[in-house]
């Protein structure tokens, strides 16, 4: 009997113990369903640093609730971009992309991990570029120059005004070298490579085209890497840095004689041909940029890309911006931007592409005048448009000396 009582009490103890544990193992409930408030569904022209607002998600058990902001380019690729937000609003500190259709939602979660996503997914479109101007800034002739970003400054190299200038804000410019040893250089190309600024080819006021190469680490002192590179003399060519090399692409010997080769160098002294006869009918003053691990060229109405400089794949001829020359390309905001240039007449429009194939006009008529032979570059969250020429009906050209920005 005593043994049976002991066994019964033992079983009862185990049962009561299990019952007690089960009573504490209540499933954690998700926060209540809630919804989004703003940015409103379908909103357009949204600022690039918007404020998102949503309803509070009440937790049934009174637990603290935090929120994750989800965003993506489609309803199926929403990813958390900010987590553990306290409160029901959030303002982005990082700029959102321009002219982008985006989707967003909110996920609420308590401090034990139970979560509920908002009942809706909203979409919105961010604004286009906006315009600004900075005036003439004392330049008298500002065309056929090049522009670089180097050591957190804008640099203008050569051109009609000659010399080397820089600016940390685009407004106030300092003459770094009024008479550089490369002379009155125009229609050349420039790149930043190996922590140096490089000037390649072009023409001077007193001679024809050149095939020399110069570099500088400070804009004051310039060293000639070679007086005569292996590629022929040229102007109106393009240059980029790609695959840890400097590239010289096409150009022309004179206005009526185009050059169809592509060269590269790792030191500015020794230049090797990628091809002596590219599969491209080069137009006057094409432009090349590096985008998505390829070199992209806009040449007339053609867009081509290359990963080796020898073969250039035709991406499209259906660009909508026409047979464009003497334009500028800029990579900014994960897009290629085409600005101005000549297509029957000089233009002041702005186009962009996310893939080099499909092009959208972002600005039909910018605040700056129609122009060609200008430069453009991305600097401090803006696209800068510098100088250029305006071609008149009389075939005369007049300078557009202003410095403008788009952001």
For tokens 């080769």, what's the residue?
261
Q: Which of 86, 110, 126 is the last residue of a domain?
A: 126
As a whole number, mean pLDDT of residues 129-151 equals 81
In a shared domain, residues 303 and 163 = yes
What was the pLDDT predicted at 15? 38
Confidence of residue 11 (pLDDT cuts 50, 70, 90): very low
Domain that holds residue 42: 36-126
Strands (E), 86-235: 89-91, 101-110, 115-117, 122-126, 131-133, 146-150, 153-157, 164-167, 174-177, 189-193, 196-203, 209-216, 223-226
Please determine, for residue 12, whether its predicted confidence score (pLDDT) is greater than 70.
no
Pick the closest to residue 361 from 321, 327, 323, 329 (CA basis).
321
Q: Which of 97, 126, 155 is the last residue of a domain?
A: 126
In a shared domain, residues 194 and 122 = no
Domain assignment present for 16: no
pLDDT digits (tens, 9 = 90+) for 312-362: 999 999 999 999 989 999 999 999 999 999 888 889 999 999 999 999 999
Counting other chains too, the contacts that 161-169 makes at CB distance below 8 Å and 24 or more residues apart are: 164/216, 164/219, 164/220, 166/219
- CB atoms under 10 Å from CB of 307, counted, come to 13
Domain assignment present for 240: yes
Q: Please count the structural domains in the chain.
A: 2
| 10: enclosing H helix or E strand | helix 2-24
In a shared domain, residues 54 and 158 = no
What was the pLDDT predicted at 347? 92
Q: Which letter does DSSP use for residue 82 in this model?
A: E
Domain assignment present for 5: no
Question: How many Cα atoms within 13 Å fall on the side-chain side of residue 219?
Answer: 23
Token pair for residue 300?
Answer: 């007339």
* CA 154 to each of CA 133, 139, 246, 263, 386: distance values in angstroms, whole numbers, following the listed order: 16, 15, 20, 27, 11
Confidence of residue 83 (pLDDT cuts 50, 70, 90): very high
Confidence of residue 70 (pLDDT cuts 50, 70, 90): very high
In a shared domain, residues 165 and 309 = yes
**pTM, entire model:** 0.88
List the Cα angle 207/210/262 in 5-degree steps: 150
Residues composing the chain = 407
In a shared domain, residues 139 and 111 = no
Contact 197, 190 (CB under 8 A): yes
As a whole number, mean pLDDT of residues 216-222 equals 98
3-state class of 12 per DSSP? helix
Domain assignment present for 146: yes
Token pair for residue 171?
Answer: 């407004």
What was the pLDDT predicted at 395? 52
Percent of the chain at pLDDT exceeding 70: 89
CATH of the domain at 52: 2.60.40.10
In a shared domain, residues 74 and 139 = no
Q: Which of 83, 101, 126 is the last residue of a domain?
A: 126
Confidence of residue 26 (pLDDT cuts 50, 70, 90): low
In a shared domain, residues 154 and 58 = no
Q: How far apart are CA 194 and CA 333, in angstroms?
A: 24
List the Cα angle 285/291/294 in 5-degree steps: 85
Domain assignment present for 26: no
In a shared domain, residues 115 and 235 = no
**Do you find a cis peptide bond into 229, omega within 30 degrees of 0?**
no
In a shared domain, residues 378 and 267 = yes
Beta partners for residue 142, in sequence order: none
Domain assignment present for 265: yes
In a shared domain, residues 82 and 137 = no
Token pair for residue 389?
Answer: 């020429």
As a whole number, mean pLDDT of residues 154-174 equals 91
In a shared domain, residues 287 and 341 = yes
Domain assignment present for 15: no
- CB atoms under 10 Å from CB of 76, counted, come to 8
Residues 6+ apart with CB under 8 A from 62: none
Contact 160, 145 (CB under 8 A): yes
| 383: enclosing H helix or E strand | strand 383-386
Domain assignment present for 25: no
Q: How far apart are CA 51 and CA 39, in angstroms?
A: 7
b (16+ CB within 10 A) / e for 220-233: eebeebbeebebeb
Pick the closest to residue 78 from 29, 24, 26, 117 (CA basis).
117
As a whole number, mean pLDDT of residues 280-301 equals 90
CATH of the domain at 218: 2.120.10.80
Q: How far apart are CA 118 and CA 69, in angstroms?
A: 10
In a shared domain, residues 122 and 142 = no
């Amino acid at each position: 009997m005593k043994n049976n009582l002991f066994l019964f009490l033992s079983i009862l103890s185990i049962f009561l113990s299990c019952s007690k544990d089960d009573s504490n193992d209540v499933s954690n409930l998700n926060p209540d369903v809630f919804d989004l408030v703003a940015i409103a569904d379908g909103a357009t022209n949204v600022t690039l640093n918007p404020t998102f607002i949503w309803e509070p998600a009440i937790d049934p058990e009174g637990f603290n609730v935090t929120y994750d902001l989800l965003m993506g380019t489609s309803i199926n690729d929403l990813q958390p971009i900010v987590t553990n937000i306290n409160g029901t609003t959030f303002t982005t500190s990082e700029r959102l992309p321009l002219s982008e259709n985006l989707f967003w939602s909110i996920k609420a979660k308590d401090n034990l991990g139970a979560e509920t996503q908002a009942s809706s997914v909203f979409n919105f479109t961010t604004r286009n570029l906006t315009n600004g101007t900075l005036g003439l800034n004392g330049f008298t002739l500002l065309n056929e120059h090049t522009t670089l970003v180097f050591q957190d400054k804008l640099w203008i190299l050569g051109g009609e005004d000659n010399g080397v200038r820089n600016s940390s804000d685009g407004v106030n410019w300092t003459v770094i070298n009024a008479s550089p040893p490369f002379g009155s250089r125009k229609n050349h190309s420039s790149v930043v490579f190996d922590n140096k600024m490089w000037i390649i080819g072009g023409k001077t006021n007193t001679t024809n085209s050149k095939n020399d190469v110069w570099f500088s680490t400070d804009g004051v002192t310039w060293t000639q890497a070679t007086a005569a590179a292996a590629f022929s003399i040229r102007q109106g060519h393009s240059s980029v840095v790609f695959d840890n090399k400097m590239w010289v692409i096409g150009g022309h010997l004179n206005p009526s004689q185009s050059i169809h080769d592509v060269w590269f160098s790792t030191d500015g002294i020794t230049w090797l041909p990628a091809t002596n006869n590219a599969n491209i009918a080069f137009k006057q003053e094409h432009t090349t940029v590096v985008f998505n691990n390829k070199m992209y060229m806009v040449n007339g109405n053609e867009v081509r890309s290359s990963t080796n400089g020898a073969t250039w794949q035709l991406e499209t001829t259906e660009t909508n911006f026409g047979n464009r020359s003497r334009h500028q390309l800029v990579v900014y905001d994960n897009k290629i931007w085409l600005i101005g240039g000549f297509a029957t007449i000089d233009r002041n429009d702005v186009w962009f592409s996310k893939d080099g194939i499909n092009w959208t006009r972002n600005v039909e008529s910018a605040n700056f005048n129609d122009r060609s032979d200008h430069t453009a570059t991305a600097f401090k969250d803006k696209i800068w448009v510098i100088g250029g020429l305006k071609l008149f009906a009389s075939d005369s050209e007049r300078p557009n000396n202003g410095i403008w920005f788009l952001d």
